[in-house]
Structure 1
Amino acid sequence: MTQTSGTVTWLTQEAYDQLKAEYDHLSGPARVDIAKKIEAAREEGDLKENAGYHAAKEEQGKQEARVRQLAQLLETAKVGEAPADDGIVEPGMVVTVAFDGDEDDTMTFLMASREFATSDIETYSPQSPLGVGLNGKKVGEEAEYELPNGNTARVKVLKAKPYQA
């Protein structure tokens, strides 16, 4: 999981290895593959009306942007331990909250960088209004955060456990 503090991003060893593997693939074999696609499309002739060429160039642009993003992230990364199982909300924790004290109206999510968003569990950034409001709170404590419309919402922390992949 990640925790951004200034320009440093804290990662578990597992998260670092996962991002490094993605970076290595995108900056190596994937780069070669996209260059081959572009060259093959270029050989088809008129580039103005060549949808394959334009699609490959767009894919290349997205891929290069991701390579730059990963390079910056890995450059500022510090590898550390997963959070302790101490009931304190912090990045890397799966958190369950109750809205306005109503323990029937709950939400469970992973507090982590969007880099770790999965289809298994909703992910909220520590920099999001909810993340900022909850960071450092203990099970049983309440927190307030600002909604996009300017109103304030209250939640109570019901659970906070380290994420298990």
Structure 2
Amino acid sequence: MSTVSYYTAEGLKKLREELDHLKSVMRPKASADIAEARDKGDLSENAEYDAAKEAQGMLEMRIAKLEEVHSNARLIDESHLDLSKALVLSNVKIKNQTDGTEMTYTLVAESEADLKTGKISVTSPIGKGLLGKAVGEFAEITVPNGVLKFEILEITRD
């Protein structure tokens, strides 16, 4: 059973680009690698042929997985989101009550999370803790190291 995944326009575009690249560039390359290995002689003792066939199988599995994800992908309609609460696509500025540090995160779908760019998944512990909170509220989030307490300072949208 497949699950619906929600994407921003940027995330959906990246998914399509990766799928197109795998189909139009990598698939023909895998076929060419198999043909080249086949031309080298006896297939029963040809490790290069076996490796090329295995690589093709892995590529086809990846393509099938991405096609399934793409078929169940839904674009997030930002016009229907409540701007006063932390939801998907919100930029949330928070303050750690323990050490006073301030951080800004963008809440995104799990498939688009990238901590290096400040994008955290709404299914992560911090993301779940921030969802639905408004400016001035506090979020107590249980993480492996204990409980973190954050104050919501600001919520914006790009």
* TM-score for the superposition, normalised by structure 2: 0.73
Counterparts of 1:60-79 in structure 2, within 5 Å, are 60=56, 63-79=59-75
Counterparts of 1:1-165 in structure 2, within 5 Å, are 7-44=3-40, 47-48=46-47, 50=48, 54=51, 60=56, 63-82=59-78, 84=81, 86-100=83-97, 102-103=99-100, 105-117=101-113, 121-149=117-145, 151-163=146-158
SS in 1 for 2:117: coil
How far apart in 2 are the matches of 1:130 and 1:146?
Answer: 8
How far apart in 2 are the matches of 1:158 and 1:61?
Answer: 49
**Aligned amino acid, residue 162 of structure 1:** R
How far apart in 2 are the matches of 1:114 and 1:100?
Answer: 26
Listed as ranges, the gaps of 5+ residues in structure 2 are none
RMSD: 3.1
Deviations 1:28-58 (A, max 9, x none): 332112222343345456543x4x974x566
Count of matched residue positions in the alignment of Structure 1 and Structure 2? 153
Higher mean C-alpha displacement, 123-132 vs 18-27: 18-27
Are 1:114 and 1:123, in contact at CA under 8 Å, matched by a contact in 2?
no
Which of the two has higher C-alpha Rg? 2
How far apart in 1 are the matches of 2:91 and 2:50?
Answer: 43
Are 1:95 and 1:110, in contact at CA under 8 Å, matched by a contact in 2?
yes
How far apart in 2 are the matches of 1:115 and 1:93?
Answer: 16
C-alpha displacement of 1:127: 0.8
C-alpha displacement of 1:82: 2.7
**Aligned amino acid, residue 159 of structure 1:** E
Listed as ranges, the gaps of 5+ residues in structure 1 are 1-5
How far apart in 2 are the matches of 1:60 and 1:157?
Answer: 48
Q: Which has the higher strand share?
A: 1
Deviations 1:71-104 (A, max 9, x none): 222222223423658242112222221112654x
Are 1:139 and 1:157, in contact at CA under 8 Å, matched by a contact in 2?
yes
Instruction: Among all aligned residue pairs of Structure 1 and Structure 2, give the percentage whose two residues are the same amino acid.
Output: 29
